[in-house]
Amino acid sequence: MRLSSPDRIYFPGPGYTKLDLFNYYLSVGDGIMRALRRRPTMLQRFPQGIEGEMFFQKRVPTRGVPPWIETTTISFPSGRTADELCPADLAHVAWAAQMGTVVFHPWPVRADDVDRPDELRIDLDPQPGTDFADAVAVAGEVRALLDELGVTGFPKTSGGRGVHIYLRIAPRWTFTQVRRAAIAFAREIERRRPDLVTTAWWKEQRGEKVFIDYNQMARDRTIACAYSLRANGRATVSTPVTWDELADVEPNDFDLRTVPERFARIGDPHAAIDDAGWDITPLLEWADRDDKEGQGDLPYPPDHPKMPGEPKRVQPSKDRDRKG
């Protein structure tokens, strides 16, 4: 594969070039392929570097693409479709890097069933007034609850202030059902730590807490994958960590220069993530319980079609029908 403009500066602060970006992805090949293999993937591209134009590419062009590039057709909530990149091997990642891809955003599904997720993603998002340490504290609550359920979660840094925890699940349920399970799980964590956790969709209601973004399990919502670079001045990496080391790390510990050495030294903390797919029935039973107690669905993202049973998608302070 020919790499064009290898000396182009992609991260001006540390001076990392396009060649550095390309070599980074080759150095963590096994890890990023564990995150991307056979998953429809949106590409966040910066052809001139992170301070230049950025765009999200959901459709692989029909021309000028190597014949071996594989794609998968996915459906958006609007009903439109797209043929997205579906990495079958590391060459697909290398091609994307040559095209200026900095961040990889895979769907939580595989090519053989694009309508049934096999990955449940728990996104811990610190709100203003909170930070990474607060997200780590909430991650501890998540780990304890997962232990009670008898399932293993796999944490990683977001590359920013947040923490992501991934679970492999059996691909038996729709996006709507898996999102419902994610809401039930988030509400249980919120009950245990109401002082620190919120599931409120509207920012004005969240306060200084860590938001569990249940809508990451809505169709067409994606997260930067494990070992993906992030488009920031430090060139940080969304990095898998062990549960034991999570409390002792900082997001800036992991970047384009440090992660390859770490990967070569310790391997991939997510190496066992594909060993088993969890049955989410207990979470769906919690969701049924919550429904009976008056806690039904929560708002979808603003660009998502209105869904059956969804509450009003109106900011509370602007809701004229809201009592009080």
pLDDT in tens, 46-65: 999 999 999 999 999 888 89
Question: pLDDT at position 204, please?
Answer: 94
pLDDT band at residue 322 under the 50/70/90 scheme: low
Q: Do strands 41-45 and 55-57 pair parallel, antiparallel, or not at all (unpaired)?
A: antiparallel
Structural Rg of the chain based on CA atoms: 20
The amino acid present at 108, given as its one-letter code, is P
- Return the closest-CA partner of residue 11 out of 44, 55, 51: 51
Question: pLDDT at position 274, please?
Answer: 97
Mean pLDDT over residues 200-217, rounded? 97
CA within 13 Å, CB half, 43: 25
Q: How far apart are CA 254 and CA 66, in angstroms?
A: 32
DSSP code of residue 317: G
Helix (H, G, I), strand (E, B) or coil at 302: coil
Q: What is the pLDDT of residues 159-180, one digit of tens each?
A: 999 999 999 999 999 999 999 9
DSSP line for 190-215: HHH-TTTEE--SSGGGT-SSEEE-GG
pLDDT of 324 > 80? The answer is no
Mean pLDDT over residues 71-86, rounded? 96
Place of tokens 């950025």: 54
Mean pLDDT over residues 12-23, rounded? 98
Report yes or no: 90 and 39 within 8 Å, Cβ to Cβ: no
Mean pLDDT over residues 195-202, rounded? 97
Question: pLDDT at position 323, please?
Answer: 59
pLDDT of 312 > 90? The answer is no
Q: Do strands 210-212 and 71-75 pair parallel, antiparallel, or not at all (unpaired)?
A: unpaired
pTM: 0.96
Please provide the average confidence, as pLDDT, over all residues in the chain. Answer: 96
Q: What is the pLDDT of residues 109-132, one digit of tens each?
A: 999 999 999 999 999 999 999 999
Report yes or no: 217 and 284 within 8 Å, Cβ to Cβ: no
- Return the closest-CA partner of residue 124 out of 153, 150, 157, 149: 157
pLDDT band at residue 319 under the 50/70/90 scheme: confident
Question: pLDDT at position 16, please?
Answer: 98
Tally helices (H) and strands (E) across the chain.
8, 12
Q: What is the pLDDT of residues 238-293, one digit of tens each?
A: 999 999 999 999 999 999 999 999 999 999 999 999 999 999 999 999 999 999 99
Helices (H), 37-131: 90-98
pLDDT band at residue 313 under the 50/70/90 scheme: confident
Q: Characterize 25-48 residue by residue with b for buried, 16 or more Cβ atoms within 10 angstroms of its Cβ, and e for exposed.
A: bebbbebbbbbbbbbbbbbbbbbe
Question: pLDDT at position 320, please?
Answer: 72
* Largest separation between any pair of C-alpha atoms in the chain: 64
Question: pLDDT at position 248, please?
Answer: 97
Structural domains of the chain, with CATH: 9-114+222-240 (3.90.920.10), 119-220+276-293 (3.90.920.10)
Question: pLDDT at position 291, please?
Answer: 96
